[in-house]
Amino acid sequence: MTLIIRLNQIIAQYIHAIFEPWLSQFVARFAFAAVLMNYYWASAMTKIGESLWQPSIGAYYQIFPAATQAVSYDASQLSGFYTFIVLLGTYAEFVLPALIVFGLFTRLAALGMIGFVFIQTLTDIYGHGVDEATIGAWFDRASDALILDQRLLWVTILMVIFARGPGTLSLDKLFGAEMHTHEI
């Protein structure tokens, strides 16, 4: 049994030495790019009105459903605060994913995206009042709930990026901006 344990340790050390410096960060950023970047960019596109400075009425409804309904879908009746938040959310959907994919200010962008997913989730649950099936539940047999199941996976990817950084294949690394963590 000792021989099997030692063999396992040797193999694990070999694999670790080869893949540890770059694999988890690359895979996390690749998964984000493959699954979420276009999702957020498409969502941001639905929020642009006649210009980049004038959100669509759909943008207001997506972010502030009750307030938008209360003014009969006339965004001109909403204060500048609503427009500021809608524009901030729209630009975040463009900028934060791009920063993550290119590996520039990656940790901050990942942290921003975690916050964005959290606010998005609260808006969907409390603002749009999605049903229990859409919210889902953890530790059940189904893994297809749009809120809890999917967004847990999204945040997990983002947490790897935040905790581990962008890795060697990134603009942060190229510009020497990546902080290196040291084992204690």
Q: What is the pLDDT of residue 16?
A: 86
First to last CA, the chain: 31
| pLDDT at residue 181 tops 60 | no
Question: CB-based contacts of 107: which residues, under 8 Å, 6+ apart?
Answer: 161, 162, 165, 166, 179
Mean pLDDT confidence for 112-122: 97
Question: CB-based contacts of 113: which residues, under 8 Å, 6+ apart?
Answer: 96, 97, 100, 158
SS3 of 168, please?
coil
Q: What is the pLDDT of residue 180?
A: 54
Give yes or no for a contact between 147 and 125, defined as CB atoms under 8 angstroms apart: yes
Residue pLDDT, tens place only, 138-156: 999 888 899 999 999 999 9
SS3 of 129, please?
coil
> Among positive and negative, which fits the CA dihedral 155, 160, 165, 167?
negative
Give CA angle at 64 (87, 116), nearest 5°.
60
Question: CB-based contacts of 153: which residues, under 8 Å, 6+ apart?
Answer: none
Confidence of residue 89 (pLDDT cuts 50, 70, 90): very high
Q: How far apart are CA 147 and CA 142, in angstroms?
A: 12
SS3 of 73, please?
coil
Residue pLDDT, tens place only, 36-80: 999 999 999 999 998 888 999 999 999 999 999 999 999 999 999
Q: What is the pLDDT of residue 19?
A: 81
pTM as predicted: 0.85
Give yes or no for a contact between 103 and 28, defined as CB atoms under 8 angstroms apart: no
